[in-house]
Structure 1
Amino acid sequence: MDLYKQAGVDIAAGNAAANRYKALAKKTKRSGVLGQIGGFASGFALDLEKYPEPVLVSGTDGVGTKLKVAFAANKHDSVGVDCVAMCVNDILTVGAEPLYFLDYLATGKLDVDVAESVVSGIARGCELAGAALVGGETAEMPGMYEEGEYDIAGFTVGVVNRPSMITGDQVQPGDVILGLASSGLHSNGYSLVRKLIADAGLGWSDVLPGDTVCVADRLLTPTRIYVKPILQLLAAGLPVHAMAHITGGGLNENLPRVLPEGTAALIDAATWPREPVFTWLLEQSEMTFTEATRVWNMGIGYVVVTSASAVDQVTKLLEEQGETVYRIGEIVAGTPDVYFR
């Protein structure tokens, strides 16, 4: 009699899941990785020729209540991308190249197929970011989560040469703010989104006005990973004075984090198109656009601040890397804040 299994923990299922993870992780292996998944710790040998003055940069995050949509839609293969994106896009803002990633998956009762689907998304996110999936943890904790639910979080380590760190100290009035298009809501504001969906009486298979896909698919669109295009930009040596990942708090809260004293951001909201999901959220919530930019990214997932003389070159390079770029504003004199016109 397996008393531990009777108590709700299935060791065999955990082992089966771990074996599936190994196959997924192999796709993400990169130079520097030592060993393989399955040990007590993961090793990484840093290339000191490429990074002679290395600064290690770390980040951790989760997916939040976007997971509730995944549970309801029984679609689990994209939230892992979100988990990676939320971490690697953050460390990218200082110019760091993500090296490796670890995940944490916790559930009340382990469903091996669901776990594999989640980790397949994590592996895909790592591929998009150029980071190796070097390990993680799957925790089965009966009584901690509702049936069919789980939580995921991630942790990444990256590196940047100290002289190349993007700190925001070069930002000055006259600089131009470029916005990179988001892939929708990314992974923020979902508690309010789910409330608005419920208040409107919409089902997950319904379609929002002006949209082309069902609500579940729209809300589960994975967060865009900006790593490779931005690293190409930095490698080109073009002036990048500051960068911001537009997550919880939107443009209003995230852009000021990289502005030095004496500067402010002036944003023209008419410079980029509004996707149907954001139009619907504005109408349903009855918020002003400025209020909404404190909750959602409103179509801009990442920001690059550059000199006015380099705007065309920076835009061209990023567009060649597949990004959609908008000139959304400029840096002006003032207190670090965001103003809309």
Structure 2
Amino acid sequence: MDYRTAGVDVVAGRAFVERIRSSVEATRRPEVVGGLGGFGGLCRLPSGLREPLLVSGTDGVGTKLELAQAHGRHHAVGIDLVAMCVNDVITSGAEPLFFLDYIATGKLSPEAMAEVVEGIADGCRQSGCALLGGETAEMPGFYGPGRYDLAGFCVAVVEASALIDGRSIAAGDRIIGVASSGVHSNGFSLVRRILEARGVGTATPLPGGDAPLIDTLLTPTRLYGALVRSLLQAAVPIRGMAHITGGGLPENLPRCLPDGVQALLNPASWERPPVFRWLQEAGDVPEPDLWNTFNLGVGFCLVVPADALTLALATCREAGYEAWPLGEVVTRQPGDPVLVGLPS
């Protein structure tokens, strides 16, 4: 017996590392020390910071992986992995520094795994952070052949005086919605159940369009790091930010609001992307469940003073992001909900 007959191919693992080396090195930042292959990744803090705060986040892609693996779409979920972590840490105004990935699989498929890592590197380049290291574990007998799982870890940095934590949000502030790229990486246990019930195949089109429904569902999660960077460079006085991820607006927007205020939202301020209408109709999903499961077209939220609304919207457009006034912050009385205006 040897390790290969037990299910782990060390030679293939080494070839995989060489395949991804150029993608990893393309994400390098000036603060990175050393290269790929050490036992730990090294990274300096950016110069010029007086009171740096490190901001960390970790996440996965969830059961979207099941759909992606079934249809051979590996690059996209690499981007998803980065987005689910980076979009969280930037809500504090932090700059992403580096990213780590963990890939666990039953049997290493160098081609598929390389596509995943190339997607991760793509997401890191878009976010301006270094892919500092990672781990790929072959676990035969634990994961089935061709199956894999992903986890990601991101570290960002922000000057203490520039931290955005929502504490300065006050009645009269405006809430901006920034468009998502679709379903992102949440709610796929429900999505997959609907697809199975409706017998959706690879070529099944999204009603009203030419693109296959599967392509629409597997569109990578939009990355908002470049947007936040543009807003800060334009001196937009951001008072709070929220990544609209699992739980939708009802769960995530309140996370950036301080006590004593509530968000008054206008659901008619944007048009839901067609994929959400299809999911609701195909799955007969109740309206409140839609709001508590999906982003419904809102991937990120900004809270700014009323007199900064015009500048913030213009900066979003210049950066290539669709954005619109989503609502406003009002005084909340004890016992009142944090969000009003959405279906209950």
Question: TM-score, structure 2 length as denominator?
Answer: 0.96
Instruction: Give SS of 1:7's match.
Output: coil
Displacement over 3 Å in runs of 4+: 287-290
Equivalent residue number for residue 175 of structure 2: 177
Task: Confirm or deny: 8 A CA contact 1:229 1:321 kept in the other structure.
Answer: yes
| Map of 2:163 onto structure 1 | 165
2:141 corresponds to 1:143: yes
The answer on whether the counterparts of 1:48 and 1:54 sit within 8 Å (CA) in structure 2 is no
**Higher mean Cα deviation, 145-154 or 288-297?**
288-297
Deviations along 1:244-280, whole A, 9 cap, x unmatched? 0000000000001111111111111111111110111
Q: Percent identity?
A: 48
- 1:280 matched residue in structure 2: 278
- Alignment-derived partner of residue 91 in structure 1: 89
**Secondary structure at 1:330 match in 2:** strand
Give the direction of change, closer, same or farther, for the CA distance of 1:228–1:13 in structure 2 (3 Å limit): same
Partner of 1:20: 19
Opposite residue 206 of structure 2, the aligned amino acid is L
Residues of 2 paired with 1:138 and 1:155: CA distance? 14
Report SS of the residue matched to 2:215: helix
Structure 1 unpaired stretches of 5+: none
1:163-198: CA deviations, max 9, x gaps?
Answer: 111110111111111010000000000000010111
On the 8 A contact 1:108/1:140 being kept in 2, the answer is: yes
Q: Answer yes or no: is the 8 Å Cα contact 1:261–1:336 preserved in 2.
A: no
Gap regions ≥5 residues in structure 2: none
CA RMSD of aligned residues (A): 1.2
Contact 1:263 1:336 in 2 (8 A): no
Q: CA deviation at 1:202?
A: 1.5
Deviations 1:220-240 (A, max 9, x none): 100000001111212322211
Matches of 1:77 and 1:261 in 2, distance apart?
41
The DSSP-based 3-state class of the residue aligned with 1:23 is: helix
Secondary structure in 2 matching 1:103: strand
Count of residues in Structure 1 that have an aligned counterpart in Structure 2: 339
Equivalent position SS for 1:78:
helix
Partner of 2:74, secondary structure, is coil
**Partner in structure 2 of residue 40 of structure 1:** 39
- The DSSP-based 3-state class of the residue aligned with 1:3 is coil
From the superposition, tell whether residues 142 and 58 of structure 1 become closer, same or farther in structure 2 (CA, over 3 Å): same
Partner Cα distance (1:258, 1:313) in 2: 21
State the partner residue of 2:54: 56
What amino acid sits opposite 1:161 in the alignment? E
User: TM-score, normalization: structure 1?
Assistant: 0.97
The answer to whether the Cα contact below 8 Å between 1:187 and 1:223 also exists between their aligned partners in 2 is yes
Matched, 1:324 2:322: yes
